[in-house]
Structure 1
Amino acid sequence: MRSQLITPEGMERLKEELNHLWRVERPETTRKVSWAASLGDRSENADYHYNKKRLREIDKRLLYLRKCIDGFKVIDYHPHMDGKVSFGAWVEIENLEKGLKKRLRIVGYEELIGNKDYISMDSPMAQALVDKKVGDEVIVETKIARFVWRINSIEYVKNPSAQ
């Protein structure tokens, strides 16, 4: 089961999307459906069928977003998080063996889309990193291989509205 956690920035993006769909896209699409329906025969009316389909997609997404907003728990930064990896942290890790460095942020699954440097709280990497400190080495076991990473830095977004 996936974690129902989200960062304040992630929640804000969901609310913005919900607001845009509800106040802009849905009314516009509804007007298009009404206009297309007013033309008469709907059986071969591509505008009508396309916009009815789009309206169903919007309604489905609105329902999903409302459930997310009501069901997710927002995890704000708190000073007790400093010094160890927790939800919302930006973590720089290094694989000395392969000479790789990565900077990742641990977030909820809903925040992953479009953010290549975000990882899910439920991922093996995040699970290995949680509660660790700078200088600690973690072992990440995947189906493919076993990796050892050293934590170089841990940072938190302390004022989400500033980002």
Structure 2
Amino acid sequence: MIRLRPEQKLAERSVPITPAGYAALQARYKTLFEDERPKLVEIVSWAAGNGDRSENGDYQYGKKRLREIDREVRHLSKRMKAANIIDPAEQPDKARIYFGATVTLADEDDNQRSVTIVGDDEADAGAGRIGWNSPLARALRKAEIGDLRIVTLPSGTKEWEVIAIRYPE
């Protein structure tokens, strides 16, 4: 069995993310760790000093919420360590679809749709941001204007034509 050094494991697990997405992760981490958690620790400490903890709602709720915060802080910390920050504006080949591209697509019925390929942590399909590892993003990788791509979705297969590719300035 071949063992990888820790830095090799981290490189293999690197997760692409835009600078804005990374900033959002950092902001959430900071809010939880520096604001919410200290306030909650203070409440739990106060509630613990009130005596019987078995029927103390402030203590029980506080401990439960503290565990939730700690779990999310650990998750965010792991995601930030594995993050590979990629600025889409610095993409050298802007004629093809890579991470950070905003792509205009047309289906068989000539219905157009515009999507931006972002990191999986910052994906929001309703806002037109799809994750790098989503079926549509995987099918579109390295495509050029005019290329046809068949995408297998949960609802079935669909063919998309690349109409336009844009990157932020």
- Could you tell me the TM-score, scaled by structure 2's length? 0.84
- How many residues align structurally? 157
User: For 1:116-159, what per-residue CA distance to the aligned partner results, in whole angstroms no more than 9, with x for missing partners?
Assistant: 4121211221111111112222111235422111112212233x
Q: For residue 69 of structure 2, what is the amino acid of its counterpart?
A: I
Q: Distance in 1 between matches of 2:113 and 2:101?
A: 13
Q: For residue 109 of structure 2, what is the amino acid of its counterpart?
A: K
Q: Which residue, 72, 83, 86 being the options, matches 2:95?
A: 83
Q: Distance in 1 between matches of 2:38 and 2:54?
A: 23
Q: Which residue, 22, 29, 33 being the options, matches 1:11?
A: 22
Alpha-carbon distance, 1:38 to partner:
1.6
Q: Distance in 1 between matches of 2:79 and 2:91?
A: 27
Of stretches 111-120 and 20-29 in structure 1, the one that deviates more from structure 2 is 111-120
Alpha-carbon distance change, 127 to 113 in structure 1, aligned in 2, over 3 angstroms: closer
Q: For residue 108 of structure 1, what is the amino acid of its counterpart?
A: G
Q: Assess if the C-alpha contact under 8 Å between 1:2 and 1:122 holds in 2.
A: no
What's the secondary structure of 1:16's corresponding residue?
Answer: helix
Q: Which residue, 32, 42, 51 being the options, matches 2:53?
A: 42
Q: Assess if the C-alpha contact under 8 Å between 1:89 and 1:106 holds in 2.
A: yes
Identical amino acids, percent of aligned pairs: 38
Alpha-carbon distance, 1:41 to partner:
0.8
Q: Distance in 2 between matches of 1:109 and 1:2?
A: 13
Indicate whether 1:73 and 2:84 are aligned.
yes
- Identify the residue that residue 145 of structure 1 maps to in structure 2: 156
- Identify the residue that residue 161 of structure 1 maps to in structure 2: none
- Identify the residue that residue 131 of structure 1 maps to in structure 2: 142
- Structure 1 residue runs of 5 or longer lacking an equivalent are 159-163
Alpha-carbon distance change, 55 to 115 in structure 1, aligned in 2, over 3 angstroms: farther
- Identify the residue that residue 94 of structure 1 maps to in structure 2: 106
- Identify the residue that residue 29 of structure 1 maps to in structure 2: 40
Q: Distance in 1 between matches of 2:103 and 2:161?
A: 10
User: For 1:66-86, what per-residue CA distance to the aligned partner results, in whole angstroms no more than 9, with x for missing partners?
Assistant: 111111111122241312110
User: For 1:17-36, what per-residue CA distance to the aligned partner results, in whole angstroms no more than 9, with x for missing partners?
Assistant: 11111111111111111111
Q: Assess if the C-alpha contact under 8 Å between 2:14 and 2:84 holds in 1.
A: no
Q: Distance in 2 between matches of 1:128 and 1:64?
A: 29
What's the secondary structure of 1:73's corresponding residue?
Answer: strand
Indicate whether 1:156 and 2:167 are aligned.
yes
RMSD between aligned alpha carbons? Answer: 2.0
Structure 1 outlier segments of 4+, above 3 Å: 113-116
What's the secondary structure of 1:80's corresponding residue?
Answer: coil
